[in-house]
Amino acid sequence: MVSGVDLSNTQNMKTIKSFSVSLPTKELREMERRAKQEKRTMSELVRELYRRYVSDAARQEFGRAVAALRDEAAGTVASRLTMRQIDAEITATRRSRRHSVKSAR
| pLDDT tens-digit readout, 33-89 | 999 999 999 999 999 999 999 999 999 999 999 888 888 888 888 778 888 998 999
Q: 49: closest CA among 34, 39, 60?
A: 34
Of 17-21, 65-69, 96-100, give the lowest mean pLDDT range: 96-100
Per the domain annotation, does 71 fall within a domain? yes
Per the domain annotation, does 32 fall within a domain? yes
pLDDT tens for 20-48 read 989 999 999 999 999 999 999 999 999 99
**Owning domain of residue 63:** 23-75
Total domains, the chain: 1
Per the domain annotation, does 15 fall within a domain? no
Q: What's the start-to-end Cα distance of the chain, in Å?
A: 49
Per the domain annotation, does 40 fall within a domain? yes
Query: Contacts from 20-28 at CB under 8 Å and sequence distance 24+?
Result: 21/46
Per the domain annotation, does 92 fall within a domain? no
